[in-house]
Amino acid sequence: MMQHELRLLLSFLVDRPGSPLTLRQADFQASSGHIKRFISESFGLGMLTAAAERHNRLKLNDIDLHNSDALPVATQYPGSGIRPDLLFDFY
């Protein structure tokens, strides 16, 4: 399933050697609302991960980033309204 999602994300990017990644604006604008939300949230979480990694000078492995669809059962979150979009496991 993740391969299909990744393929969808990559289909909205222009990747030219020597150039920064660019969103295919016309294709994005022509997409349905749920696709736009998926693309925006996915890219946003990717940028948040990169920013947190750089800011904290972390060297993350694939195992350090948890999928928010499969949260650890033992994890307790204080209060209500907590939405853990991005979790790092440092133990």
Residue 49 CB contacts under 8 Å (≥ 6 apart), including other chains: 60, 65, 86
pLDDT tens-digit readout, 26-48 = 999 999 999 999 999 888 888 87
H or E segment and range at residue 38: helix 33-55
Average pLDDT, integer, range 51-73: 64
Average pLDDT, integer, range 48-66: 71
pTM for the full predicted model: 0.60
Q: Using the predicted structure, report yes or no on whether residue 65 has a pLDDT greater than 60.
A: no
